[in-house]
Amino acid sequence: MLLGRIKELLYKYQGWLTYLGALLAFNLMLKLAYDEIFINYKNPVELLISIIILGVSLLASYFNRRRHMLSYFILESSEYINMYALDLNYRFMSTNRNDIRLMQEIFKFTPKIGDCPLRHLDAERSSELKANVDRALKGENFTSLDTIEYDGKTLYWQNMFSPIYNRRKRIIGAFSFVVDVTEQRKQELEMQRLAYEDVLTQVHNRRYIELAFDECVLNKTNPITVIMSDLNKFKEANDTYGHSCGDQILIEYGEILTKVMPENAVVARLGGDEFAVLLPGVTKQQADFLINLVKIEMMVKDMPVTASLGSYTDSYQAHKTFVDFCACADERMYRDKNQKG
């Protein structure tokens, strides 16, 4: 504890101790050159104090050098941490070897002290970097996530920006730690996919379509259409041909819905043979046309089951929930089912 406290004090006052040590060293040089010195060596107390100050100054410099060397080794040793610092004119003040290697490999330029990286990046990335550095130069500490497409792979970098202050607490630049979080991000995306995707059919699940519906209402999308659908005689097919065949029917039906529906549609399996489709900005007439396309596609594939579908269209201002839309669409679906007998 005591040693740690001493080190802390040496770090804190290292600047003043260095000045005192330099002054004492200068006095010694004068002594050697002119035999004149400010310290009275006939006074042992004064001599002892001078030696202690000089020793403490050297000790502080030693500890400070060790601290800086440790920081240097940490920054240079990790292959996952890239570090660079830019001045007020967006020029490199510092960079570590890993960042140099990364810039050479991905952006095809070598960072050099005094060089401006904005000149070497495309317009989009240059504008993004400048905006981030400007935020840091205003005193903001923040984190951003970059997505990089490189060599057929998607890389994810976490950038931590902070301002650089001088001894007078004035901002003189900005630095960034860039950490490769590709594997971590891939795991997060996979967990999200599993949380919002039906494992069997690989369409979305109920949780996802409910969130998508809420987003449509929040964004004031108008109109909003929901299609409800289930498969006729699916249980008989499942019992006759086996569960593997039943699973394949569900998979194929999910593929048909995904193929027929617009790109912004959300196709989801709610459970069993029940599916729902969220159609932002689609009218009832357009939904009826899509329903007919689904039935035609099933006939073309000669599937052993048929589908009943019903749609409901309303405004986001109707103050209805996803469950309300489903109930109305469900009612129309059963009308379709009853017409088929």
Q: List the structure tokens of 227.
A: 């299609």
d(CA 293, CA 275): 16
Cα-based angle 89, 148, 76 (whole degrees, multiple of 5): 65
Share of the chain above pLDDT 90, in %: 44
Read off the pTM.
0.57
Residue labelled with tokens 């301002």:
163
Segment among 128-142, 185-199, 205-219, 270-284 with least mean pLDDT: 185-199
Contact 84, 99 (CB under 8 A): yes
Number of DSSP helices (H) and strands (E) in the chain, helices first: 11, 10
| The pLDDT of residue 62 is above 80 | no
- Contacts of residue 62, Cβ cutoff 8 Å, sequence gap at least 6: none
Interval 94-114: pLDDT, tens: 888 888 888 888 888 898 888
d(CA 216, CA 316): 8
Q: What pLDDT score was predicted for residue 237?
A: 84
Q: List the structure tokens of 286.
A: 């357009």
* Amino acid making up residue 86: L
| The pLDDT of residue 203 is above 60 | yes
| The pLDDT of residue 70 is above 50 | no
